[in-house]
């Protein structure tokens, strides 16, 4: 990828719509707009109605609203042009062909706008991920979390930690590299309370990591039971649509079926699994193996029983009971049961389904709720922060007798791990702190 290329792409979704938006970014964006309109650039950030023309034939393509965003005050940090055209497929295709004829322009690669914004310090990695999460958000909870992340809320916290870590590293480095300068005697020890405070703050965030990851990825709930207990029927009843094949024949579901739900703004993925029972059929055995594997990794499980078998529980379900499991008794339209140990429902008639949804929502809220916005939303963030904490713990456990060179290496590794989250690791920052705070070489 050549950064100086000017790129263009359809920024709105494909298909017929009232309006489609093309976005250009790069040094030739302004010239391209002048070529398409035959007029000078409009005032910055002011919409103007202009005819777009083919640069070779001068044929009119469409009447569009055009906007000019000179860099660096744009999304990518480069000169940006936005063309708001009519959303027909033929219009979009004609404008794309015209843009492709202009010198210095090429179609954008996947994710290239955000990549350029990152390269030009308009976005850090967490904000770029937040933008992607906002585009893919399906629930209100996901939208709010992604918006905070895209707005830089996470970046500000991580960058605050990074600043403190660099200051601690600068104190340690100063004791090594500038021992002959007029420095405080305890300069190398001043890092310890800073590091201790940082480590404690990061450890607190790590304990809340599952909340953010679950909210972004969705809670996973596996429906388990014997063949013909009504797992697929229950899945369809909760989804309010025919998502799984329902049959009176046992063993219809051979593989894991996933359905995504929005429970009052909380994302949930339901897993319809193969019936758990003894069998010699190789295909059924593989389905049962997959069902148990997904059950063990799910956030919690619905153990489904046939009301006609109640209170007998199959052996295969007994070892799955626990605080992460919810017992549901189905087919109460065929036999009434008292809710002594589980929820009584009928997937066929809908009886008890609303109560089950309320229970699932309460479980989801308990697993995803937090008194304040969470910082960790991805496995990548968690792994990097865990690496950072391990290095800080090694620094603190070493005591004051360890060589400053080794202590500094611990802090350098910690800073590198933290920098992987936002994408910013800069040696110059360290030198700036050393020379400014301790007035080295003044």
Annotated binding site: 23, 82, 122, 228-233, 247-253, 272-275, 442
Strands in 291-360 per DSSP E: 300-306, 325-330, 343-344
Please compute, for residue 11, the number of CA atoms within 13 A of its CA located in the half-sphere on the CB side.
18
pLDDT at 436: 42
**Bridge partners, 21 (sequence order):** 84
Annotated binding site for (6S)-5-formyl-5,6,7,8-tetrahydrofolate: 23, 82, 122, 442
Average pLDDT along the chain? 82
Mean pLDDT of 14-31: 92
Predicted confidence (pLDDT) at residue 183 exceeds the cutoff of 50 = no
Mean pLDDT of 298-311: 88
Q: Which of 39-43, 55-59, 138-142, 329-333 has the lowest mean pLDDT?
A: 138-142
Its pTM surpasses 0.75: no
The rounded Cα 437 to chain-centroid distance in angstroms is 38
Predicted confidence (pLDDT) at residue 64 exceeds the cutoff of 70 = yes
Mean pLDDT of 361-378: 80
Rounded to whole angstroms, the Cα distance separating 121 from 123 reads 5
Q: How far is CA 156 from CA 47, 153, 202, 225, in A?
A: 33, 5, 14, 47
Predicted confidence (pLDDT) at residue 35 exceeds the cutoff of 90 = yes
Annotated binding site for Mg(2+): 232, 253
- Helix residue ranges per DSSP H, 25-111: 29-37, 89-101
Dihedrals phi, psi of 441, to nearest 5 degrees:
65, 30
pLDDT single digits (tens) 113-164: 988 998 898 888 888 888 888 888 888 888 888 888 888 888 889 989 988 8
Predicted confidence (pLDDT) at residue 327 exceeds the cutoff of 70 = yes
pLDDT at 253: 46
Annotated binding site for GTP: 228-233, 247-253, 272-275
Considering only residues 356 and 288, tell me which one the structure prediction assigns the higher pLDDT: 356
Mean pLDDT of 57-84: 95
pLDDT at 370: 65
pLDDT single digits (tens) 213-227: 888 888 888 888 888
Q: By the 8 A CB rule, do 270 and 259 touch?
A: yes
Length of the chain: 442
């Amino acid at each position: 990828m050549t950064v100086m290329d000017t790129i263009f792409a359809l920024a709105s979704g494909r298909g017929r719509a009232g309006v489609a938006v093309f976005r250009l970014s790069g040094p030739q964006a302004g010239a391209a707009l002048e070529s398409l309109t035959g007029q000078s650039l409009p005032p910055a950030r002011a919409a103007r109605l202009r005819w777009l023309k083919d640069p070779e034939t001068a044929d009119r393509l469409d009447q569009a609203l055009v906007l000019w965003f000179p860099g660096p005050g744009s999304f990518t940090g480069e000169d940006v042009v936005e063309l708001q055209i009519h959303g027909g497929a033929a219009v979009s295709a004609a404008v794309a062909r015209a843009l492709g004829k202009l010198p210095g322009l090429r179609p954008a690669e996947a994710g290239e706008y955000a990549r350029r914004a990152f390269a030009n310090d308009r976005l850090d990695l967490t904000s770029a991920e937040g933008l992607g999460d906002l585009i893919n958000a399906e629930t209100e909870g996901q939208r709010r979390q992604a918006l905070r992340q895209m707005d830089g809320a996470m970046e500000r916290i991580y960058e605050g930690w990074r600043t403190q870590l660099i200051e601690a590293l600068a104190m340690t480095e100063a004791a090594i590299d500038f021992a002959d300068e007029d420095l405080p005697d305890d300069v190398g020890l001043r890092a310890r309370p800073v590091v201790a405070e940082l480590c404690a703050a990061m450890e607190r965030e790590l304990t809340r990591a599952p909340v953010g990851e679950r909210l972004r990825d969705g809670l996973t709930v596996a429906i388990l039971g014997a063949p013909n207990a009504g797992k697929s029927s229950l899945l369809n009843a909760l989804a309010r649509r025919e998502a799984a094949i329902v049959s009176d024949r046992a063993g219809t579901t051979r593989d894991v079926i996933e359905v995504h739900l929005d429970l009052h703004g909380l994302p949930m993925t339901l897993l319809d699994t193969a019936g758990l029972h003894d069998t010699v059929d190789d295909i059924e055995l593989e389905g049962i193996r997959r069902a148990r594997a997904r059950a063990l990794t799910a956030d919690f499980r619905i153990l489904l029983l046939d009301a006609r078998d109640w209170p007998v529980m199959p052996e295969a379900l007994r070892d799955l009971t626990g605080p992460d499991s919810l017992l549901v008794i189905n087919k109460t339209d065929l036999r009434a049961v008292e809710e002594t140990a589980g929820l009584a429902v009928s997937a066929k008639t809908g009886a008890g389904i609303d109560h089950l949804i309320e229970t699932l929502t309460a479980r989801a809220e308990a697993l995803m709720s937090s008194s304040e916005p969470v910082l960790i939303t991805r496995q990548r963030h968690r792994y990097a922060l865990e690496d950072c904490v391990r290095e800080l713990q090694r620094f603190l456990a070493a005591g004051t007798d360890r060589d400053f060179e080794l202590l500094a290496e611990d802090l350098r590794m910690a800073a590198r791990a933290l920098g992987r989250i936002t994408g910013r690791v800069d040696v110059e920052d360290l030198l700036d702190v050393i020379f400014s705070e301790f007035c080295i070489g003044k």
